[in-house]
Amino acid sequence: MRDHLIIIKVGGKIVEEEVPLRSLLKDFSRIAGGKILVHGGGKSATTLAEKLGIETKIVDGRRITDAETLKVATMVYAGLVNKNVVAGLQAFGNNAIGLTGADLDIIRAAKRPVGAIDYGFVGDINWVNAQALSELLVNGAVPVIAPITHDGKGSLLNTNADTIASELATSLCSRYEVRLIFCFEKAGVLMNEADEKSVVPEIDPVMFEELKAKGIISGGMIPKLENGFNALRRGVSAVVITNAQGISGGLRGTRLVLHI
Amino acid sequence: MRDHLIIIKVGGKIVEEEVPLRSLLKDFSRIAGGKILVHGGGKSATTLAEKLGIETKIVDGRRITDAETLKVATMVYAGLVNKNVVAGLQAFGNNAIGLTGADLDIIRAAKRPVGAIDYGFVGDINWVNAQALSELLVNGAVPVIAPITHDGKGSLLNTNADTIASELATSLCSRYEVRLIFCFEKAGVLMNEADEKSVVPEIDPVMFEELKAKGIISGGMIPKLENGFNALRRGVSAVVITNAQGISGGLRGTRLVLHI
């Protein structure tokens, strides 16, 4: 029987403001067994870029990353956010280790080819070093992953944190029974954006297409769900979209399934 | 017989400008056996602080670290500099892993008590997790250490990189035969600051006191040498102060000894 592994991606205010971060880390630290935290940090990156007079361009929810923006992303994701999360988890007794894709060569990516849009220093994942991650997990370490990868030729690349979480999940599911949790500010997929109680408990690809066509699912939720369904198809045991409260409370939120 | 371990501390322009950094990493990557790189990043931190309108205060070569300065230090040291070094070493075939003291709890520090000067979020090292570092080294990983530690209670702290290097060296010298190299912009301790050829080949504590009294040794060189002599007294096999060229060329520079 494979050991359990839970991969939680957290983004938004939850990881960037002191009080909700502390609460999240307390809940996360209490999860028993193998676990990995993948975080974002986009809001802090946008704030720092603004202060430095660097314009932030986002197309279809993806940040256009020129050389200066890559520096900002590296500073905020791999430095500020990552190390505060690591220090916070250490204080709660979890032996956290902060990593980008470059550290131990855990995530190798390729710079996205220039098409209709030039995304700049954005990396699409080529492979995940599941062996290196497994060794850390076996030793009781808790990997905390910043959304920065590398190309193996010396360049860092900016990579979407949701994508990193689902690639890690699929790469590790031959070794572990993996649950993948996307944790953000809303309680799950909502039928009515203004009503946190309108959570869709389960969603399958057919329903996803319907809700997308109706405009109920839009923006950053679309790639999140696409990533989630792909992870399920590639062997991940469970995919859930929830908020910070969902982590402590037995994974409420929206559960992705291939067939309802 | 103990295995060899070389610990190299690099600071100044060498780690902060692309061309000298690449050259350094190429030389460093060719060193066989166990090795650890400890880096600074103060110039970039000062530049970023200036752009953000945060005043940099340095007393006796030590940065006064208020909350905003700690954020800048964390972003620059643990993010920008550390991850560029790691990606660069990966490109040269070294399996680098970037770490602060918080990661795997490798360096625990205490916030410096407020005395005549309030240094702010500056950490004095309590202990080094030699076991965790040894495990990484045994697995062939190359630790790259940023000068940020933590207090175990969730706070990051700014810690002098020279001090980190010598504390790592002394903590690891019961397990390894450790050589400690301080690599900076000058060729070693110079009798005449304007003449790079006036390198003192060997220095002992008596000569150090004489040169300090004459003003030939001053500023940041004083704690560097004090750290170095302490490391020798505590069992480190060799301590050398040199420049980037000294790494490739068989450790030229100034060698510290307890008695000439």
Q: Which two tokens stand for residue B145?
A: 């250490």
Over the stretch A49-66, which tens digit does the pLDDT of each residue have?
999 999 888 887 677 999
* Under-70 pLDDT residues of chain B: 61, 249-251
Q: Which residue of A has its CA nearest to B87?
A: A154
**pTM across the whole model:** 0.96
> A91 vs B135: CB contact, 8 Å cut-off?
no
A87 touches chain B (CB under 8 A): yes
The CATH class, in words, for A3-256 is alpha beta
Task: With beta carbons under 8 A apart, name residues in chain A contacting B135.
Answer: 139
Query: How many other C-beta atoms can be found within 10 angstroms of the C-beta atom of residue B174?
Result: 11
pLDDT given for residue B184 in this prediction: 87
**C-alpha count within 13 angstroms, C-beta hemisphere, residue B98:** 38
Question: Is residue B236 a contact partner of residue B178, using CB atoms and an 8 Å limit?
Answer: yes
B103 contact A CB<8A: yes
Write out chain A residues lying below 8 Å of B83, CB-based.
Answer: 74, 78, 100, 102-103, 148, 156
The b-or-e profile of B61-77 (16+ CB within 10 A means b, else e) is: ebbbbbeebbbbbbbbb
What's at B55, amino acid-wise? E
Q: Considering only alpha carbons, which residue of chain B is nearest residue A51?
A: B52
Chain A contact for B192, CB < 8 A? no
Task: Tell me the shortest Cα–Cα distance from B245 to chain A, in angstroms.
Answer: 22
What does the block give as tokens for B225?
């040498």
What's the pLDDT at A100?
98
Chains A, B: CB contacts within 8 A come to 117
- The percent of residues in chain B predicted with pLDDT above 70, rounded, is 98
Partners of residue A99 in chain B, C-beta under 8 Å? 97
Kindly identify which residue of chain A lies nearest to residue B95, measuring between CA atoms.
A104
**Residues of chain A with confidence (pLDDT) below 50:** none
Looking at residue A249, its pLDDT comes to 62
> What pLDDT was estimated at residue A5?
97
B97 to chain A: which residues are within 8 Å by CB?
Answer: 99, 103-104
Asked if the Cβ–Cβ distance from B139 to A141 is below 8 Å, we say: no
What distance in Å separates the CA atoms of residue B81 and residue B77, rounded to the nearest whole number? 5
Q: Locate the chain B residue with the closest alpha carbon to A53.
A: B51
Contact B74 A84 (CB under 8 A): yes
Q: What is the pLDDT of residue A61?
A: 67
**Considering only CB atoms, which chain B residues are within 8 Å of A80?**
71, 74-75, 79
Q: HSE on the CB side for B7, CA within 13 Å?
A: 29
Contact A83 B102 (CB under 8 A): yes
Does residue A75 belong to the interface with chain B, where contact is any CB pair within 8 Å? yes
B88-120 residue pLDDT tens: 999 999 999 999 999 999 999 999 999 989 999
Residues 6+ apart with CB under 8 A from B256: B202, B203, B204, B225, B228, B229, B232, B239, B240, B241
Q: Do residues A248 and A181 lie in contact, with contact meaning Cβ atoms separated by under 8 Å?
A: no
Among A75, A141, A155, beta carbon nearest to B76: A75
Instruction: Report residue A68 as tokens.
Output: 């200066």
Partner-chain contact A82 B84, CB within 8 Å: no
The interface residues of chain A toward chain B in range 13-32, judged by CB-CB distance below 8 A, are 22
User: Cα distance from A3 to chain B (closest Cα, Å)?
Assistant: 22
Q: What is the 3-state secondary structure (H, E, C) of B140-172?
A: CCEEEECCEEECCCCCEEECCHHHHHHHHHHHH
Query: Residue A133's pLDDT is what?
Result: 98
Domain locations along chain A: 3-256
